[in-house]
Amino acid sequence: MGIKIKQTNLGSKDSDILKMLAELRRNNLSGANELIFKVIGIIKYLLKLIKTPDEDIKEQILILSVEIINSHPSIAPLINTMGYILNNLEFINKKTIEKRLDQFEKDRIEKKRALNISFQEFLNHYKKRPSKIMLISYSSTIINLLAEFNKENLEIYVLESRPLLEGRKTAEILSQYFKTHLIVDAAIGKFIDQIDIILIGVDSILKDGSIINKIGTFPLALVAKANDVPIYVIADSFKYNLRSHFDQRIIIDKKPIYEIYDKKIENKYLKVDNYYFDMTPSKYISGIISEYGILSIKQFLEKVQHSLPIEWFKYFLNNKRV
């Protein structure tokens, strides 16, 4: 076998996997679907190092899973990707994982197809008049869905999404298809009375229906509620957070200070706090557009809790791996 794995890391003969995991942890700009693609790439690379197809690689895969899950603790699809691949596997070898990966990729295509249908149904509701849509941050799912319906009479408003300004990338892409406005985050109130709907591609949906998304989503929701502008989440079932399902604490980490304050801090009373994510209660969300259709938060949770392989995650909790 081409790689040795210790309990605490993936170390040793091939450092490429460690480099790929480090890159995954540092990746703060990609959306959840793009991160899933990178995770699949890491798993496939590990499988290339396995020379014996029938060799038991359960421990290697489990340790790799922990590294992947913990790389972005607030992004639910990474947990569910590993859950899909590992669910109900007592014996794990190269052949079983390759089979699961093939099945996974087919199912992701089907989820995408079903989500496209749901989004088209949703968009048809707004066809009768020009619609102005507000977005925050960067979601490859939303961008791709909107781009597919580029003949619609839509106008897009994108919050720049500090501190990493992912909204700029969103605006640059969508401006190829629609009249697009890039605005600063603090300008929500100035433009909200022009907006018909707000679309959000979230990182996690929690057990109580709250959502975790780019910082600024919560104040956007408050302003929207005060002005009767509906907010719809666009997400597939993989956005359901299994940490939350099992009542685990959801950690939203602080990020580097220099991203928002690049001076040396000499005043002990000056504290700089930088977060990428915030949490928005479900009462501010009008509905969820998913592969299940256009549903309320409650309806979505009922469906997702019966469709995901939820119990697999107990293994990691019971063995204190995550």
Instruction: Quick: pLDDT tens for 155-209.
Output: 999 999 999 999 999 999 999 999 999 999 999 999 999 999 999 999 999 999 9
Question: Is residue 140 located within the same domain as residue 84?
Answer: no
Mean pLDDT, rounded, for 214-239: 97
Question: Is residue 167 located within the same domain as residue 264?
Answer: yes
Q: Can you tell me the distance from the alpha carbon of 186 to that of 150, in angstroms, rounded to the nearest whole number?
A: 28
Pairing of strands 277-280, 287-290: unpaired
Q: Can you tell me the distance from the alpha carbon of 289 to that of 297, in angstroms, rounded to the nearest whole number?
A: 10
Question: Is residue 94 located within the same domain as residue 137?
Answer: no
- Can you tell me which residue has the tokens 């913990």? 70
Q: Can you tell me the distance from the alpha carbon of 65 to that of 78, in angstroms, rounded to the nearest whole number?
A: 9
The pLDDT tens digits for 74-117 are: 889 999 999 999 998 888 999 999 999 999 999 999 999 999 99
Question: How many of the other CB atoms lie within 10 Å of CB of 17?
Answer: 24
- Can you tell me which residue has the tokens 């793009």? 34
On whether residue 8 sits in a domain, the answer given is: no
Query: What percentage of the chain exceeds 70 in pLDDT?
Result: 94
Q: For residue 10, name the pLDDT band (cuts at 50, 70, 90).
A: very low
Q: Which residues pair with 304 in a beta bridge?
A: none
Mean pLDDT, rounded, for 242-254: 90
pLDDT at 129: 63
The pLDDT tens digits for 152-170 are: 789 999 999 999 999 999 9
Q: Can you tell me the distance from the alpha carbon of 5 to that of 293, in angstroms, rounded to the nearest whole number?
A: 42
**Helical (H) or strand (E) element with 79:** helix 76-86
How many whole angstroms from its chain centre is CA 124?
A: 26
The CATH number of the domain holding residue 105 is: 1.20.120.420
pLDDT at 223: 98
Look at the chain and report how many structural domains it folds into: 2
pLDDT at 13: 47
pLDDT at 126: 65
pLDDT at 7: 37
Question: Is residue 295 located within the same domain as residue 192?
Answer: yes
Whether residue 295 is predicted with pLDDT greater than 80 in this model: the reply is yes
Whether residue 238 is predicted with pLDDT greater than 60 in this model: the reply is yes
DSSP state for residue 193 in the 8-state scheme: G
Question: Is residue 213 located within the same domain as residue 288?
Answer: yes
Whether residue 11 is predicted with pLDDT greater than 60 in this model: the reply is no
Q: Can you tell me the distance from the alpha carbon of 198 to that of 194, in angstroms, rounded to the nearest whole number?
A: 11
On whether residue 195 sits in a domain, the answer given is: yes
Question: Is residue 102 located within the same domain as residue 133?
Answer: no
The CATH number of the domain holding residue 174 is: 3.40.50.10470
Mean pLDDT, rounded, for 225-243: 96
The pLDDT tens digits for 104-151 are: 999 999 999 999 999 999 988 766 566 899 999 999 999 999 998 877
Rg (CA), the chain: 21
Q: Can you tell me the distance from the alpha carbon of 174 to that of 162, in angstroms, rounded to the nearest whole number?
A: 19
Q: Angle at the Cα of 273 (from 240 to 66), degrees rounded to 5?
A: 40
C-beta pairs of 259-267 under 8 Å, 24+ apart in sequence: 259/163, 259/164, 260/162, 260/163
On whether residue 11 sits in a domain, the answer given is: no
Q: Can you tell me the distance from the alpha carbon of 141 to that of 146, in angstroms, rounded to the nearest whole number?
A: 9
Q: Which residues pair with 294 in a beta bridge?
A: 289
On whether residue 179 sits in a domain, the answer given is: yes
Question: Is residue 91 located within the same domain as residue 136?
Answer: no
Whether residue 1 is predicted with pLDDT greater than 50 in this model: the reply is no
Question: Is residue 179 located within the same domain as residue 50?
Answer: no
Question: Is residue 159 located within the same domain as residue 297?
Answer: yes
Question: Using an 8 Å Cβ cutoff, are 296 and 304 in contact?
Answer: no
pLDDT at 144: 94
On whether residue 7 sits in a domain, the answer given is: no
- Can you tell me which residue has the tokens 């869905």? 145
On whether residue 2 sits in a domain, the answer given is: no
The candidate with the shortest Cα–Cα distance to 225, out of 277, 279, 285, is: 285
Question: Is residue 314 located within the same domain as residue 288?
Answer: no
**Domain limits at 222?**
129-307
CB-based contacts of 161, cutoff 8 Å, min separation 6: 136, 137, 138, 167, 185, 214, 216
**Helical (H) or strand (E) element with 18:** helix 16-26
On whether residue 116 sits in a domain, the answer given is: no
Question: Is residue 242 located within the same domain as residue 186?
Answer: yes
Q: What is the mean pLDDT of the chain?
A: 90
Which string of b and e fits 219-241 if b means at least 16 CB within 10 Å? Answer: ebbebbeeeebebbbbbbbbbbb
Pairing of strands 211-214, 277-280: antiparallel
On whether residue 124 sits in a domain, the answer given is: no
Q: Can you tell me the distance from the alpha carbon of 292 to that of 303, in angstroms, rounded to the nearest whole number?
A: 8
Whole-angstrom CA distances from 200 to 92, 143, 250, 281, 316 are 37, 11, 20, 14, 30
Question: Is residue 288 located within the same domain as residue 190?
Answer: yes
